[in-house]
Structure 1
Amino acid sequence: MSQTPLHIAQDFPPTSVEEWRRLVDKDLKGKPFTSLQSALEGGLTLQPLYSQADAGTATPPEPPGVAPFLRGTHALGLTEGGWLVCQEYSEPEVATAAEAIRVDLDRGVSGVWLRLGETQGVRVRNAADMERLLAHVPLSKTPVYLESEDPASTAALLLQATERTRSSRETLQGCLGVDPLGVLARTGALRSGLPAAFAEAAPLVTSTRKSSPGLRALLVSTRAYADAGATSVHELAWAIATGVEYLRGLERAGVSPEDAARSLQFSFSVGSQFFPEIAKLRAARLLWSKAVAASGGSPEAQAMALHARTAAATKSRRDPWVNILRSTSESFAAVIGGADSITTSPFDEAIGLPDEGSRRIARNTQLILRDESSLNRVADPAGGSYYIEQLTRDFARAAWTELRRIEALGGMAAALVQGDIARVLAETVAARNKAIRTRRLPIVGVSEFPHLDEQSVSRTPRSSEAASPAASGPEELRMTPLRPVRVAEAFESLRDASDRYLAAHGHRPRAFMANLGTVAEHTARAMWIANVLAAGGIDPLQHHGFTDVAQAASLIAASGAQLVVLSGPDAMYPEWVPALTAALKQQSGRIVAVAGRPGEHEAAFRAAGVDLFIYAGGDLFETLSSLHKQLGVS
């Protein structure tokens, strides 16, 4: 190997952005430069290149540990001990959840996140139940976070259990989970109203600030919004708007913004867009610091306590093993974004209650990222990237604009009750569904590269019953609960229908793939069509090449397939499509589809009897749904 040093700076002189742009414009051959830009949900746009010029005259961000904490709330980042590996528990039975906690704490988990409630979590009814649930948790060194349908009651149960076990309240860490707007969004009701909720929370904030400084009383969770389809910009803006609402409400109840800010815990979902999610978490700390500073809070109070959880909306029931990759990417983004604690959801979360194996994979995902990939060894690894720094500023500006809109409506509570949040979510989900149905937003294992013969994963189902507070009062807030959605739901419904057809008929709905020309000529299009059909649960029966129309018609008749898809090179279509379609239409009940856009031949092909065309960019979900109806698939 040569030992001659490389002088890259001298050998490759610097190139300006203008020179790069001239070369790009040349390669685009008349296409607009905007064709290289990528649109993000929330109205943001990704550029193909970011450079020092994008930083402009912006002041370099403060180092980690310094307000406004864009680069993290710790001076050395998480290099000391890493982030908190936090596992989530929602098994209904106390004994089952307690055993899961014991196993996980023995094997590397360092924090416990408890979802509590009769319908959507662990059923803890009294202090004894809470004591049994936490029997294996050393409270003096293990942070415990609560997220509950009735947060005031469960917070009291945790404190009672602490006294019963003679644990020191001074050493408690975590969060009591008082999140009135989160409860309202999830359940549709806040039985005592918001002023009463703040009046009830105020003494809890005051007492925990004195007796348990490591325990935060209030929670701002974006779970309800992220699960219902919020964009990253909306999730960020609504989290800050909720935090601002809590600061004001607690101040009216006698708690200073300083103490209120120090008593708030934030929890964000992290979705599938890797770099934007990093920017979202960085922007969250920046915006919260600005909001607390405007309220009179000290620099120390401006530091956001930030928990991140891998998103539920991105997970699929079909080919659920792909969820392991999704959760790994989302956990990675949470680490790079500087989350203080992270929950990696088990890969079978969308199917039902996780088992020990899926919990093991979930916790080991974080342990590998920390102990083998050493992601905690660098403070703010994203810092200085022109791309991420600019994207962080873009997120902050867009979220601040949305925050101001929410404030103009009267705040987050008013936006929820008036239906504004639900309206925005409905618009977002509709736009996202359009991208999903056309596969501009592909879902691996579901709408893209589906596996029709996959072995199903069976789990105990979660309760789907909506939580409903028992009592109501004159100040009760009510709204329609936000409905959780998953991006894979539409195409999974087609697969579910295919499974029912299989159970009733002994085989799936079938399509005869009449591939024209040589293998080299039709393979690319035939494989694309086969994937589309499989995404709808339709079994593609491949046949490669025919000598003439009569032979093709005879083979198709023998197959018994009601649906026939003609696929091949465009040059063969004018001769083969009309003739073969005419022959097939003589066979009773035959449905004929053609792969690709028909162009100028559409009228002739339809006159010959072609029923539909399947092509990239079309509404493939609608096409497959239509085929289901024609094939008798319920």
Structure 2
Amino acid sequence: MSQTPLHIAQDFPPTSVEEWRRLVDKDLKGKPFTSLQSALEGGLTLQPLYSPQDAGPAAPPEPPGVAPFLRGTHPLGLTEGGWLVCQEYSEPDVATAAEAIRVDLERGVSGLWLRLGETQGIQVRDASGMERLLAQVPLSKTPVYLEPEDNAPSAAALLLHAAERTQTPRESLRGCLGVDPLGVLARTGALRSGLQAALAEAAPLVTSTRKGSPGLRALLVSTRAYADAGATSVHELAWAIATGVEYLRGLERAGVSPEDAARSLQFSFSVGSQFFPEIAKLRAARLLWSKAVAASGGSPEAQAMALHARTAAATKSRRDPWVNILRSTSESFAAVIGGADSITTSPFDEAIGLPDESSRRIARNTQLILRDESSLNRVADPAGGSYYIEQLTHDIARAAWTELRRIEALGGMAAALVQGDIARVLAETVAARSKAIRTRRLPIVGVSEFPNLDEQSVSRTPRASEASSPAPAGLAELRMTPLRPVRVAEPFESLRDASDRYLAAHGHRPRAFMANLGTVAEHTARAMWIANALAAGGIDPVQHHGFADVAQAASLIAASGAPLVVISGPDAMYPEWVPALTAALKQQSGRIVAVAGRPGEHEAAFRAAGVDLFVYAGADLFETLSSLHKQLGVS
């Protein structure tokens, strides 16, 4: 091996962006440069190349730990101990949840996120219930974050009472008491006392915690309801800042200064599947919140955002749920790189029901491996200086600021919720995303891509409610239709559910005979694509490779008994084979004939021969499969 050192900078002279652009334009051969750009949700566009000019002359402008905190709120980042590994608990039974907490604390969890409530959380009804739940928790060392379904001040009182009973010094408490009235409104559709009354009720709690428990934040700004209902990164960020601004105003009216109010807010974001945009979102969140607090008169210290991140529920699938481990790993990775102070990795089976000890262990160990084996905590702001991420951060920040100003023009976040504006935006976003999912431009591994019809189902205790929490009883000052959680995999999962019911009733799944024309080399790529597409709808593809003639093909298909036939092969063979084979098949009663690929100029002739439909990339696969289900008698 040569020991001569490489001098890359000398051997390869720098190339300007202009020179690169000239070469690209030449290779495009007349296609527009925009064909290399990628559209992101939220109206953003990704460029094929980023340069120092894109990131700006002073990017990144400030070191970590300095306002506006784009690069993190700590001077050394997370290098001094890492982020807080925070497990989430929502098991209804107090004893079960307490035992899970005990086990997890012994095995690496360093913070607790407690969802409390009668329908979707731990059912802590009184002080003794909270004491039993936290019996094995050293409160002076373990941050506790509450996310109550309703009546957060009562839940906060129970936590403080439990700390008092265990003689835990108030000044040692850390975490969040979870007062999030707009989160309650979005999730349940009602806020009994109205926003200002809720914040006025929280004001004494803010004041007392600021004095006696500065590590305990009273208010929570959670984007869970919006992210679960389909919000883009831009909207999630904008609505979080809008909520924070609304809380600052309301607390100031109740006599709490913006300085104390800002130091009493905890933010919680969901982290979805778009890796780099999610990193940029978390970085932009700190930047925008710093600007908002500064505009309110808060000090640089008060401008630092307390940022929690949770892997998104909307991206998780019930089908092939083991793939969720990969999704959660990627999302946790993005949360770390984005600089979250605490992170919750959701169990891979959360979409199915209540997690078991094994799934909680995998979730916990995902973060421990990222920290202790991948050493992700050893670099402060690892994304800093990347032309791509720096530019994307500012793009997301600008887009979110524009949305924030729009919400402010409507009268603020509460008004936008009650007037239905947020629901309208979410409906538009979900519709656009659904189109991408149905056409598989947004593929879901294990569901719409590479589905496994023979997968072993995972059984879990179902949650009490899979829909939005019900509105609290009684009169409410603010009311709206609750935001409905949606998972991206739901459309194709509904087809698989129907296939399961067909299997239970008939002993086999709906079948399709794959009539593959030509040699294996000629038809394999298309046949595999079609088989994958059919399986996404729970239709079992029965493969047959090559035929001597049309008569043999028709005979084999008749013997198979499959009501659906998909003709697949090289385009060159279609003009001869498709009309003849289709005509022969249509003589067999009840036969449905589909052709793999776009028909092009032959569509009229193929349809005249009796072809029922064409299956090809870019079409609405969900609609195609739904139509086939109806024709095959799949309920």
TM over 0.5: yes
Deviation at 1:112, TM superposition (A): 0.2
Q: Is this contact kept in 2: 1:514–1:545, CA < 8 A?
A: yes
Give the 3 Å change call, closer, same or farther, for CA 261–488 of structure 1 in structure 2.
Answer: same
Task: Report how far residue 469 of structure 1 moved.
Answer: 7.2
Task: Check 1:201–1:466 CA distance in 2 against 1; reply closer, same or farther (3 A cut).
Answer: farther
Per-residue deviation, 1:22:
1.4
* Cα separation, 2, equivalents of 1:375 and 1:466: 36
* Cα 1:441/1:151, change in 2 over 3 Å: same
Q: Structure 1 residues 359 and 179, CA, compared in 2 at 3 Å: closer, same or farther?
A: same
What is residue 80 of structure 1 aligned with on the other side? 80
| 1:386-438 deviation line (CA, Å, top 9, x unaligned) | 00000000000000000000000000000000000000000000000000000
1-side partners of 2:517 and 2:118: how far apart? Answer: 59
Percent of aligned positions that are identical: 93
Per-residue CA deviation, residues 52-91 of structure 1 (Å, 9 max, x unaligned), is 1213445642100000000000000000000000000000
Deviation at 1:33, TM superposition (A): 1.1
1:3 aligns with 2:3: yes
What SS does structure 2 have at the residue aligned with 1:564? strand
Alpha-carbon deviation of 1:466? 5.6
Counterparts of 1:50 and 1:151, CA distance in 2: 48
Q: Does 2:613 align with 1:612?
A: yes
- In 2: Cα distance, 1:332 partner to 1:59 partner: 23
1:29 to partner: Cα distance: 1.8
Deviations 1:123-158 (Å, cap 9, x if unpaired)? 000010001001111000100000011243111111
Q: Structure 1: 5+ residue runs without aligned partners?
A: none
SS of equivalent to 2:360: helix
Deviations for 1:193-226, whole angstroms, at most 9, x for unmatched residues? 1111011100000000011110000000000000
Query: After superposition, what is the alpha-carbon deviation per residue over 1:37-63, rounded to whole angstroms, capped at 9, x for unaligned?
Result: 110000000000001121344564210
Conserved 8 A contact 1:178-1:217: yes
Instruction: Give the Å deviation of 1:493.
Output: 0.2
Whether the aligned pair in 2 keeps the contact of 1:271 and 1:314 (CA below 8 Å) is yes
The CA deviation string for residues 270-311 of structure 1, in whole angstroms up to 9 with x for no partner, is 000100000000000000000000000000000000000000
Cα contact 1:151–1:179 (8 A) shared by 2: no
SS at match of 1:115: strand
Partner SS, residue 241 of structure 1: helix
The answer to whether the 8 Å contact 1:515/1:545 transfers is: yes
Distance 1:448 1:619 in 2: 14
Cα 1:472–1:575 change in 2 (3 A) is closer
Q: Is the 8 A contact 2:320 2:452 kept in 1?
A: yes
Q: SS in structure 1 opposite 2:92?
A: coil
- What CA deviation, in whole Å up to 9, does each residue of 1:233-260 have, x standing for no partner? 0000000000000000000000000000
* Cα distance in 2 between the residues matched to 1:525 and 1:466: 39
State the SS of the aligned residue for 2:145: strand
Preserved contact between residue 145 and residue 175 of structure 2 (Cα < 8 Å): yes
Q: Which residue does the alignment assign to 1:584?
A: 585
Q: Is the 8 A contact 2:184 2:190 kept in 1?
A: yes
Cα contact 1:61–1:71 (8 A) shared by 2? no
The answer (yes or no) to whether the contact 2:91–2:97 under 8 Å persists in 1 is: yes
Pair 466,118 (structure 1): closer, same or farther in 2 beyond 3 Å: farther
**Could you tell me how far apart the structure 1 residues matched to 2:55 and 2:320 are?**
42
What per-residue deviation string (whole Å, max 9, x for no partner) do you get for residues 537-560 of structure 1?
Answer: 000000000000000000000000
Deviation at 1:189, TM superposition (A): 0.6
* TM-score for both structures, normalised by structure 1: 0.99
Q: For the structure 1 residues 73 and 469, does the alpha-carbon distance in structure 2 shift closer, same or farther, using more than 3 Å as the test?
A: same
Q: Aligned equivalents of 2:468 and 2:630: distance in 1?
A: 36
Are residues 509 and 81 of structure 1, via their aligned partners in 2, closer, same or farther at CA, if it must alter by over 3 Å?
Answer: same
- In the alignment, the residues of structure 1 paired with residue 475 and residue 82 of structure 2 have an alpha-carbon distance, to the nearest angstrom, of 47
Contact 2:188 2:472 in 1 (8 A): no
Relative to 1, partners in 2 of residues 1:473 and 1:402: Cα closer, same or farther, differing over 3 Å? Answer: same
Corresponding residue SS for 1:268: strand
CA contact 1:192–1:472 (8 Å) conserved in 2: no
1:32 to partner: Cα distance: 1.3
**Deviation string, structure 1 residues 165-218 (Cα, Å, up to 9, x no partner):** 222111100000000000000011111111110111000000000111100000
Q: 1:310 to 1:592 in 2, by over 3 A?
A: same
- Given the superposition, is the C-alpha separation of residues 520 and 357 from structure 1 closer, same or farther in structure 2, using an over 3 Å criterion? same
The question of whether the paired residues in 1 share the 8 Å contact of 2:188 and 2:471 is answered with: no
Question: Could you give the per-residue CA deviations for residues 585-634 of structure 1, whole angstroms, max 9, x where no partner exists?
Answer: 00000000000000000000000000000000000000000000000000
- Name 2:548's counterpart in structure 1: 547
Distance apart, 1:577 and its partner CA: 0.3
Deviation at 1:19, TM superposition (A): 1.0
Equivalences, count: 634
1:112 match: secondary structure: strand
**2: CA distance, partners of 1:249 / 1:99:** 39
Measured against aligned partners, the alpha-carbon deviations of 1:471-506 in whole angstroms (never above 9, x if no partner) come to 667661110000000000000000000000000000
Unpaired runs of at least 5, structure 2: none
Helix, strand or coil: the match of 2:13? coil
Partner of 1:196: 197
Q: Which residue of 1 aligns with 2:276?
A: 275
Q: In structure 1, how many angstroms separate the alpha carbons of the residues matched to 2:183 and 2:586?
A: 58
* Contact preservation (8 Å) 1:185, 1:481: yes
Q: Structure 1 468/373 Cα, relative in aligned 2: closer, same or farther at 3 Å?
A: closer
Q: What SS is found at the alignment partner of 1:592?
A: strand
The change in CA–CA distance for 1:209 and 1:491 in structure 2 (over 3 A counts) is same
CA contact (8 A) 2:468 2:485 kept: no
1:5 positional shift: 1.3
2:408 is matched with 407
Alpha-carbon distance, 1:95 to partner = 0.3
